[in-house]
A and B are shown apart, each in its own frame.
Chain A
Amino acid sequence: MGNVLAYCEFGGSTLKSSALSNLSFARAAAAAHGGEVIALLVGQGASAAGADAARYAAKVVVVDDAALEHYLAETHAPIVARLAGEHGASVVSATATTLGKDLMPRVAGLLDAGMASDVSKLAAGNQFVRPILAGNAYSTVEVSTDVICATPRQTEWPAAEPGHAGVVTTAPAGDVDALGAVVERIESSKSDRPELTDAKVVVAGGRGMKSGENFKVLEELADLLGAAMGASRAATDAGMVPADWQVGQTGKIVAPELYFAVAISGAIQHLAGMKGSKTIVAINKDPEAPIFQVADYGVVTTWEKAVPELIEEIKKVKAAR
């Protein structure tokens, strides 16, 4: 007993960067439980990423089956629950991505396990620190079931470093029963920019941008900095930009080196998603906007004036290098 089964998302032949955060959580949990990390890859094509996973964990288990073409909680959860038992796991984890959040409580339900969501720190083997109330407080919870499920938060756990030459084994999918659930289609807003949750720099706009057209100038700034685009809920709800740009309590949680909040007031639900950023810059015409309370640098002005100037100044800095 005492092992940690770490469910890892992958794309093609490599692990997703979100999975690396889970693996660093898994290492910490395994140390506390006196066990080892077992990386688990489930899905059609999982074998291709097995070798990459073996760089991070001494043991890798791959479940690769044509019946697992699309991720479904209904088909993945029973596999994870079964393997948790077979591998003597006392902790089962997945990064708190939308997939991890969909899957892990279902696994917990099957295992009758207690679960800690959005874990930011391990206080002891079965004690987890996690944000509550939209990040306005941190709670330490003790989970007293034999098996514990957890979803570490990507922004709170650094990517695990490679350094293993792990052994990859395969496990059968068993009976795959989707309970009638099917994925009919996925609509994604494709972009060449870095993923919002991985980006070093994020440029986010709010309702004050007034229209999707006006976001173009922010996108120009983003491309200059190699940044990802983000937005407040007010901007996504108004249809100015795609919904998956939303940062916040119900959007994505980001913690880049540099976050630009442009024409965003700074409601607590927005702050919940970006407060962890290293440097925050706010541009807002209202000197009383709450965003200035968390911003390292604030400029009271309109975006119409500020952003084009910002682009010019940064171009100058880049040209001088």
Chain B
Amino acid sequence: MKILVPLKRVPDPELKTKIKDGSIDLSGASWVVNPFDEYAVETALRLLENGESGARDGGEVVVVTIGPADAAQQLRSALAMGADRAIRVDGEDKALDSRTVVAVLQAVIAEEKPDLVVMGKQAVDGDANQVGQMLAAKLGWPQATFAASVELPADKATILVGREVDAGVEYKRIPLPGVVTVDLRIVSPKAVKNSVTPDSFAYGDGPRYASLKGIMAAKKKPLAEKKLSDYGATPAPVIVEKGVELPPPRKAGQKVDDIPTLVKKLVEEAKAV
């Protein structure tokens, strides 16, 4: 089974947001794999391996990013986790929007013919939450977004996805090929099931760390460098940023000494109770 994982680099979400000349100041940013995409890589690996023995019986995980030269680092991180092969399509963040990314991914998929696409539900820089669903529409494939659990039966013809929706969890089964976008809880210990990992097995919480061996191996794994034009795409974004601003700061609050004072203030000052 071949799984394609599109991934994006994002500025480290823990860093303070600064604005310079009407856009986000990224001059001092350190870059990481979009957390949801890291979870998608973890999901893909768990789908293919026997969690207990660590053995993988065939299958391939291909990671792809559309981004600048530096984004190769994030692809290497995914290779170090255990992905097999990477593709970087050269593009500057500013020149990309969801439609361009989708067009490139669609062309990559036409070439790679994966059985399944697993990706993050959203990139935590733009928080758009669009690419997976748009891609599924373009491909005419079914989609299962916001996956908190996945279960791949032995015949690998379908996948059962526990989706986090407002009302709870919806269990949706889609035939393959299809697009799955993952939510946070997909990396909890028993969220990913295949037919080879024993039911009793539990993963550690969160995505795996790359081992030293993994990091060494990643250096030798293939990383193809491509251009947008290789996929018939042009950087012609239809969504353009006109400006950014910081949210108005909340006015400074106050510490109150005890609960009776709190309740008094809630009643008299905030009129909230």
A positions within 8 Å CB-CB of B? 72-74, 77, 97-99, 101-110, 112, 114-118, 123, 127, 131-145, 178-189, 197, 201, 225, 233, 237, 242-244, 249-250, 252, 257-258, 268-269, 275, 278-281, 287, 292-301, 306, 309-310, 313-314, 317
Q: Is the CB of A300 within 8 A of B255?
A: yes
Chain B residues with CB under 8 Å of A145's CB are 238
B183 at the interface (CB under 8 A from A): yes
Majority DSSP secondary structure for residues of A touching B: mixed
CB distance from B149 to the nearest CB of A (A): 11
Chain B contact-residue range equals: 35 or more
Chain A residues with CB under 8 Å of B154's CB are none
CB distance from B151 to the nearest CB of A (A): 11
Chain A residues with CB under 8 Å of B134's CB are 105-106, 108-109, 115
CB distance from A58 to the nearest CB of B (A): 29
Q: Is the CB of A244 within 8 A of B238?
A: no
Chain B residues with CB under 8 Å of A105's CB are 98, 129-134, 137
Chain A residues with CB under 8 Å of B273's CB are 225, 258, 314, 317
Contact of A142 among B242, B244, B246, B272 (CB under 8 A): B242
Interface contact tally, CB-CB below 8 A: 259
B positions within 8 Å CB-CB of A? 11, 13-14, 17, 19, 24, 97-99, 102, 121, 124-138, 140-146, 148, 158, 160, 163-175, 183-185, 188, 205, 238-247, 250, 253-260, 262-263, 265-267, 270, 272-273
Chain B residues with CB under 8 Å of A73's CB are 133, 136, 143, 145
A131 and B129 CA atoms in complex are apart in Å by 12
The residue on A at minimum CB distance from B245 is: A138
Q: Is the CB of B243 within 8 A of A140?
A: yes
A233 and B160 CA atoms in complex are apart in Å by 24
Q: Is the CB of A188 within 8 A of B167?
A: yes
A180 and B165 CA atoms in complex are apart in Å by 20
Q: Is the CB of A297 within 8 A of B146?
A: no
The residue on A at minimum CB distance from B166 is: A98
Q: Is the CB of B253 within 8 A of A280?
A: yes
The residue on A at minimum CB distance from B131 is: A105
Q: Is the CB of B164 within 8 A of A116?
A: no
CB distance from B95 to the nearest CB of A (A): 14
Q: Is the CB of A143 within 8 A of B239?
A: yes
The residue on B at minimum CB distance from A300 is: B255
Q: Is the CB of B127 within 8 A of A118?
A: yes
30 A-B pairs in the complex with CB atoms less than 8 angstroms apart: A73-B133, A73-B136, A73-B143, A73-B145, A98-B166, A102-B146, A102-B165, A105-B130, A108-B137, A109-B137, A115-B130, A127-B242, A132-B244, A133-B127, A134-B13, A137-B245, A139-B126, A142-B241, A143-B238, A185-B170, A185-B171, A187-B171, A188-B167, A197-B166, A237-B188, A242-B168, A243-B164, A292-B253, A297-B256, A317-B263
